[in-house]
Structure 1
Amino acid sequence: MALPNKQEIDDLVSSLNDAAKAYSDAPDLNGYMSRVQILEKARTLTNALITPDQKPNYHGLNIAELVAIRTFMKLKALEAIPAAGSISLQDLSQATGVQDSLLERMGRVLVASGFLDQTEPDGGEYKHTKFSLAYILDKPAPGHLFLAMYDEWFKHMHNFDDYLVSKGKYEEPQDPLYNPYTAYWKQEGTPVWSIMMQNPERFQTFQTGMAGIDVAIPVTGHFDFSTLKNDSPDTGNATIELVDVGGGEGTVLNKILEAHPDLSPKNCMLQERPEVIQLAKSKKTLPDGIQLVEHDFMTEQPVKGAKAYFMRMILHDYADAVGIQILTRLAEAMKPYSRVLICEMVLAPRVGEADFASAVLDQAVMTMGGKERTEAGFQKMFDAAGLELVKTWRAPGVPGGCVEARLKGQT
């Protein structure tokens, strides 16, 4: 394919300039969307200038950068670079106990990608950028999300083509016990979470990293949970206002109650595995009155006729067949006024600069037999479980949303 002509490049640059004029550094939705527009135009310009012959080199840089970042993090090399100032290769080697030649070769890639910087145009000492500083793990940071993606996704999916051939089935992984993750660890038949928890430190890093996507899948700001209050005329007069199914230690339920103080904690319930419920009880961080109940969401739902059954980032861990089973258990317990609220990524028919993270997460959960879904994908599962989609509630500027469903014929 021929390179773009001068006029085409002028037009792309003009479009980029127009987007830049609308730039805002405000930490709000308008500021975020102004940056997205600039990045989108810049990416279009960059892609126009890269030739097909060059593309493999850029893919190679991306791969090399991932390996180099993970290596620097493992060797604690980022922590050895001063937060302000710089460090020579020799001093970095002495501080880490790592061969200078190895550090130099890995560092060369990180400077080329812009992850690290050097003090001189022809080299010099190493210094941090805003990106490398964010990958120091002295507190919850973007670096934890990178480790979650690298250690619990990339390691198991980089040879996905070989995995498909070995199984002789050219289809998406659908079994929570037999998938690229369990195959990598040679523990097929064992739940992914059980394998992950065999290394408590890595599991904790994963949990911390996944908290980093909260901004993309907000807990509140979409569905109005106050409509679940018992005296609300449109949802009946059930006792339980909200059941958080598979809600971990209750962090999400706590956020909902903080945002909607008119909901009563005594009319809200957290359901989880026994060991997680015991942990929630021991931490004592939830409001008094919340009901803590041991429950496996694959089995019969014990709470009948709740106003709403809420699940956040649960269904995306499972393929459609298992997701339908989970939803069917909820449908069996519902009354005409009950709702199912699913808080997850909702894939657009075509993703772009603003929401490509949703497509990335979709491939990540594929590792364990999971799946992110479009609105049509949710509707397909709801239909099979005896439910129908009412509305997808969205917060502005994020790919996540809250998908509401009710029993068929009750909308």
Structure 2
Amino acid sequence: MADQPADQPAAQPAALEGVLRILQINEAHICGHMLQLAAELGIADLLAAGPRDAAGLAADTGSDPDALHRLLRFLAGQGIFTEDDAGRFSLTPTGDCLRSDHPQSLLDLLRWSTVVSRTFQDARYSLRTGLPAFPEAFGQPLFEYLRDHPEVGGHFNGAMAGFSRLESAAVTGAYDFSGARVVVDVAGGDGTLLADLLKAHPAAEGVLMEQPHVVVGAARRFEAEGLSARCRVVSGDFFDEIPAAGDLYILKSIIHDWADDDALRILTACRRAMAPGSRLLLIESVVPPGNTPGEAKLRDVVMLTLLGGRERTREEYAQLLGKAGLRLGQVVATRSPLQILEAVPSD
């Protein structure tokens, strides 16, 4: 190897590390897109019965065999699949999570992520205006679009249920729910968290409030799990009126969807429904201070781009709750990116 010219400075390890880190961050979206394509094609379900080559998978998915082989080879290098000497691909334990029948399936989450990726192509609009880019990309606000496009709405609901499955045990194990008599889960999706709470606390009853097109799925879940007698499902608008008579109210991953004015309307509606001894739990990602990395900081820019919402610091939550007539008490960490912020009426 030739000697380095005397007038050329030697590469600095710290500078090189920074360059590699920038490249790693920049290229991460490529891996995400490849995962989303594999999910969209249903590759994991096609491999559930055993190894297959790219040609057969291409015939089943309407793909070009060479192009599909290159995609699968890339994902094999990421630990999603493996390729044997005969050119056949199999699922790894990690790739199993892309099967539709896996108990912790992430298939809907990845299919929903294609919508998020498309939205981020217009993220410059959010930076310029401070408004969500989703209506710019899709012509409607997010929740209206989900209502009018049931297939996409199904992927969204499945993605949120997937998050709930991953987070539910962390939440139920971190907070003492034993004293709750009536738990009201506001915008509780398909009821995953509330069902887990009721199963863990047989003396408690539940109320799940959701939009009309969501409550049917929640009712089916409670019936399938033998909880219908202890849990009532109601449809409603959390900006307007929230069921009374609960001694514990839950808002999980709801307030971060909204800018301060709308978030305050939801919290104020909760306060009106609460009795003097009631508690409200906000289950959210809390933005850490300073330069501390955190999932909340990623979710924050996602909320900006999709909905115009935001993740908040502990102090920002305390201020918002105070405006709604609520006082922030303990903040409980969980074995997940979420924290539980407990609030009680301030008067």
TM normalised by structure 1 equals 0.68
Equivalent runs, 1:13-162 vs 2, <5 Å:
51-55=17-21, 57-59=23-25, 61-81=27-47, 84-85=50-51, 87=53, 89-119=54-84, 124-139=87-102, 141-148=105-112, 150-161=113-124
Residue 221, structure 1, aligned to residue 184, structure 2: no
Change (3 A) 1:323 1:108: same
- 3-state SS of the aligned residue for 2:94? helix
The range that moved more, 91-100 or 400-409, is: 91-100
CA-to-aligned-CA distance 1:55-99 (integer Å, 9 cap, x gap): 454345423222223233333444445764452x44444454422
- 3-state SS of the aligned residue for 1:322? helix
Q: Distance in 1 between matches of 2:220 and 2:77?
A: 48
Change (3 A) 1:159 1:291: closer
Q: Distance in 2 between matches of 1:275 and 1:111?
A: 39
Change (3 A) 1:277 1:106: closer
Residue 378, structure 1, aligned to residue 317, structure 2: yes
Whether the 8 Å contact between 2:191 and 2:222 is mirrored in structure 1 is no
Q: Distance in 2 between matches of 1:284 and 1:82?
A: 29
Unaligned runs of 5+ in 2: 1-9
Backbone CA RMSD of aligned residues: 3.3
Matched residue, 1:181:
134
How many percent of aligned residue pairs carry the same amino acid? 26
Q: CA deviation at 1:273?
A: 3.2
Q: CA deviation at 1:199?
A: 2.9
CA-to-aligned-CA distance 1:244-303 (integer Å, 9 cap, x gap): 22234544323222212232x3xx433333454466557761331534444311014462
Q: CA deviation at 1:127?
A: 4.2
Q: Distance in 1 between matches of 2:265 and 2:307?
A: 17
Q: Distance in 1 between matches of 2:122 and 2:73?
A: 26
Q: CA deviation at 1:49?
A: 9.6
Whichever residue aligns with residue 183 of structure 1, its letter is E
Equivalent runs, 1:229-244 vs 2, <5 Å:
229=181, 241-244=182-185
Aligned length: 330
Q: CA deviation at 1:185?
A: 0.7
Q: CA deviation at 1:321?
A: 1.7
Unaligned runs of 5+ in 1: 5-47, 174-178, 230-240
- 3-state SS of the aligned residue for 1:216? helix
